[in-house]
Amino acid sequence: MGNIFSASEIVELGIQIEKNGMVFYNILAKQSQDDKAGDVFKYLAGEEEKHIAVFKAILDKVEKYEPPKIYADEYLAYMNALASEHIFTKAGQGELIAKKMKNDAEAIGAGIKFEEDSIVFYEGMKKVIPEYDHKIVEELIAQEKDHLKKLIDLKGQI
């Protein structure tokens, strides 16, 4: 079955996703030719930074937690597959991708994809973290959905 992540490793991937997102949006804010787009990117970078702190707090609790055995093997394999498809789980990818963006429209499209992938990943994360942390992750998902809406609205204006 290959490398299967533990619950704590999945939360660490969430931290990496947010770190890459923060770098990605910070670079886009500096590269942007449109003031409104630059402001949205700067706001999103700040939001990603807040999410890192939340995931670090979850990580402190989840290291001692094991998901129910009936789910563990299958679900951790599923999360492994999701992580391998999410480019922002790899260190340095936020900067690499941001620097390849040719214009604001392309950057917004990449941001939309990033937010959509993050929502799917975090929905899956709920299955391998303690139930008492579900509400926290659900709030992060709601914020990611709000980020997605901001980017879609911005796309319509650019």
Q: Where are the domains of the chain?
A: 7-152
On whether the CB atoms of residues 2 and 80 are closer than 8 A, the answer is yes
Indicate if the alpha-carbon torsion angle 78, 51, 144, 133 is positive or negative.
positive
pLDDT score, position 89? 77
**Letter string b/e over residues 95-116, b meaning 16 or more CB atoms within 10 A of that residue's CB:** eebbeebeebeebbebbbebbe
Return the structure tokens found at 1.
Answer: 């079955």
pLDDT score, position 148? 95
Indicate if the alpha-carbon torsion angle 104, 105, 108, 113 is positive or negative.
negative
Return the structure tokens found at 142.
Answer: 């709601």
- Burial class, 16, CB count within 10 angstroms (exposed 0-12 / middle 13-18 / buried 19+): buried
What are the pLDDT digits (tens) for 13-62?
888 889 999 999 999 999 999 999 999 999 999 999 999 998 888 888 77
- CA separation, residue 149 to residues 44, 81, 105, 155 (Å): 12, 26, 15, 10
Position 120 pLDDT exceeds 70: yes
Average per-residue pLDDT in the chain?
A: 84
What is 7-152's CATH number?
A: 1.20.1260.10
